[in-house]
Amino acid sequence: MKEKLLELLACPTCGGDILMPYASKYENKEIIEAVLSCKKCSREYKVERGVPRFANLDKLSQDKAETADNFGWQWNHFTQEDEKYNDQFLGWLQPVKPEFFKDKLVLEGGCGKGRHTSLAAHWGAKEVVGIDLSSAVESAFQATKHLPNAHIVQADIFKLPFKKQFDYAFSVGVLHHTPDPKGAFISLAGKVKKGGHISAWIYGAENNEWITRFVDPIRTGFTSKISQPTLLQLSKLPTLGVYLSTKLVYRPLNSLAKPIAKHLFYNEYLNHLGTFGWREQHNIVFDHLVAPTAFYISKADFETWWMEIEATNVEIIWHNQNSWCGFGEIGK
């Protein structure tokens, strides 16, 4: 934890300022072990292994606990980096461009292994804070601790430990894995100041009926309940099918015969998936099978999220024929 993070923190219980009365271990400019205290209610929070810990993991609901456990394992295993993450991230954040981040205070709701936190920092954010409920914060901290403007916090997206002063907040692929996606979105938006902006990328209900009908029963009844190492091995079989089809069918046809390719099943998404190698495709397949909770949200429902926060200049964009990107300005 970098000491300047204290300026952004607020007690998730009462909203009071956070102080640091005691720090026992430093590494360079990172505070590795410390105690944080709320000036108002005196509640204490620990900094452990460089990460402020605001989440009460012992009191999580079962679905939150299972989701945190499964995704934490995933992001501590699939720690690879890929140069294609840049374009993938910008696709999810449409219409945002890298220069939009410059000199902004940025909050990421659900940072996983920290790949997007890192990109936001490199793109010039004044400060970027990535939060995650899971043990993925361990990987995220290691991936970002060398960046002077990047911070990682373990926290619940429904109980964010921050003041309402961010210029921009975003959440990519996380809200639909919470027990209340709309509520999580509203909570995130609540930390953005008036005139700031928020982005969200979510699974769409449209064009994903085959997933909700055939894949979801397998995920909820079996793959999300077995051990993560077992699923890691079992998921190699469907990954092989995806990998061979994207590399031998979708990529070649989209390059040589687009009029034919456009009629292929799930073409836009699977063609995009074909740009990645085996390990990242394995990660993506594993991701779809490991989640205890996953919602697929219609455009009509997504639009109500933006109305709820009274956002203006809202843009909702259909992405890869299977998901929704949203961007808007905070009007309150």
Structure tokens at 26: 């430093």
By the 10 Å C-beta count (0-12 exposed, 13-18 middle, 19+ buried), 29 is classed as: exposed
- Angle (CA) 73 76 79, round 5°: 135
Give the pLDDT confidence score for residue 331 in this predicted structure.
85
Alpha-carbon distance 8 to 317, whole Å?
A: 31
Domains and CATH numbers, the chain: 1-51 (2.20.25), 54-204+298-329 (3.40.50.150), 225-290 (no CATH)
- Report the pLDDT averaged over residues 256-265: 95
- Both tokens of 300, joined, read 């009509």
Q: Who contacts 107 (Cβ-Cβ below 8 Å, separation ≥6)?
A: 128, 129, 131, 160, 162, 166, 168, 169, 170, 188, 191, 192
Nearest-angstrom CA–CA distance, 86 and 116: 8
Which helix H or strand E contains 286, and what residues bound it? helix 278-290
Q: Which two tokens stand for residue 241?
A: 């099918």
What is the DSSP-derived secondary structure letter of residue 309? T
pTM (2 decimals)? 0.96
Flag whether pLDDT at 161 surpasses 90: yes
270 has pLDDT over 90: yes
Query: What digits encode the pLDDT tens for the residues 287-312?
Result: 999 999 999 999 999 999 999 999 99
Q: What is the pLDDT of residue 88?
A: 96
Distance CA 127, CA 163 (A): 14
Mean pLDDT value across the chain: 97
CA–CA dist 272, 295 (Å, integer): 22
Percent of the chain with pLDDT over 70: 100
Tracing tokens 């979708």 back to the chain, one arrives at 250
At 2-33, the pLDDT tens digits run 999 999 999 999 999 999 999 999 998 899 99
Kindly tell me if the per-residue pLDDT of 239 is higher than 70: yes
**Res. 332: pLDDT tops 70:** no
What are the C-alpha distances in Å from 155 to residues 50, 68, 171, 233?
A: 14, 11, 14, 30
The sign one gets for the Cα dihedral 70, 73, 75, 77 is negative
Percentage of the residues of the chain whose pLDDT score is greater than 90: 97
Q: Cα 286 from chain centroid?
A: 16
Give the pLDDT mean for 145-168: 98
Report CA-CA distances (Å) from 228 to 117, 277, 289: 25, 21, 10
Q: How far from 112 is each of 45, 139, 144, CA to CA, in Å?
A: 21, 8, 12
Closest CA to 226 of 303, 295, 286: 286
Rounded Cα distance between 89 and 123, Å, is: 12
